[in-house]
Structure 1
Amino acid sequence: MKVEVLTVEEVLPLRHAVLWPNEPVAFCRVAEDDTGAHFGIRQHGEVVCVASVFFSGDTARLRKFATRVECQGQGMGSVMLQFLIEHLRARGVRVFWFDARASALDFYQRFGFAVEGERFYKHGVAYYRMSRVL
């Protein structure tokens, strides 16, 4: 599995299909998409895992991390997250953070991320803020 740089147009369809399929595609865009870094993993030429990262000084925020449902459990998310940690560290990023769905806490904790604060909700879905120092 190889992580590659993608455009926002390449990551948007999978974001929509996995994260918010019952919302309009525009709901899956974020204001900073034009300045973010977008990454993906392809399988048989098709984008099956995506993640976007947004920078502010020596801090980076992960947003819209998604893997096709039928591809989950095959290690793609782990490959992506490990790539991002190493890539960001090499770029001089010191703190890597994101809002994680409550259902994914164990996954992120395996990579050294810790919960910050209390559970909160976005559009009826439970989240926790998580971060780690790189």
Structure 2
Amino acid sequence: MSPLIQIEQIFPSLTWRIRHEAMYPELPFDHVKLPDDFDGIHFGLYADHKLTGVVSLFQKGDVYQFRKLAVLPEAQKSGYGSQLMEYILDFCKIQKATRLWCNARVNAKEFYYKFGFHETEKIFYKDGYDFVVMEKEISD
């Protein structure tokens, strides 16, 4: 039987454990806390009532950035990241956003292509990973 999936807005601090386990387990826990976490909107995906995936959205006018899309390692490849992505795309449409962007790990570009994101010229290296800025125009 497939798990019951719920996505809801969560308090910023609930994102930190999953960010840490999924993205930067080798770095100190505080590394995953963003200075502007309390200015963002955070969503959690619950699989059978267990917080399993998270994503954070930050708004500047009608442009949104998502950060720290993370799914617990044992639950990756279950479609949870895609469900979170669809959720924030719908959320951005409702909010009348014009563009959604992220700093994507280069090794995850294919994931974002599936949702219509394209690469920009902006690339950088941070915390042991190569990143590229990817973006998508949002329309009704």
Q: TM-score range by the shorter chain?
A: over 0.9
Q: How far apart are the structure 2 equivalents of 1:60 and 1:118?
A: 17
Q: How far apart are the structure 2 equivalents of 1:34 and 1:116?
A: 28
Matching residue within 75, 81, 84 for 1:77: 81
The answer to which of 113-122 and 102-111 deviates more is: 113-122
Q: Residue 53 of structure 2 corresponds to which residue in structure 1?
A: 49
Q: How far apart are the structure 2 equivalents of 1:88 and 1:119?
A: 24
Matching residue within 38, 42, 50 for 1:34: 38
CA contact (8 A) 2:105 2:130 kept: yes
How far the C-alpha of 1:132 sits from its partner, in A, is 0.6
Matching residue within 57, 61, 66 for 1:62: 66
Aligned pairs, number: 134
Matched to 2:34, the amino acid is: V
Q: Unaligned stretches of 5+ in structure 1?
A: none
Identical aligned residues as a percent: 28
Q: TM-score, normalised by structure 1?
A: 0.96
Q: Residue 133 of structure 1 corresponds to which residue in structure 2?
A: 137
Q: How far apart are the structure 2 equivalents of 1:77 and 1:59?
A: 21
Q: Residue 109 of structure 1 corresponds to which residue in structure 2?
A: 113
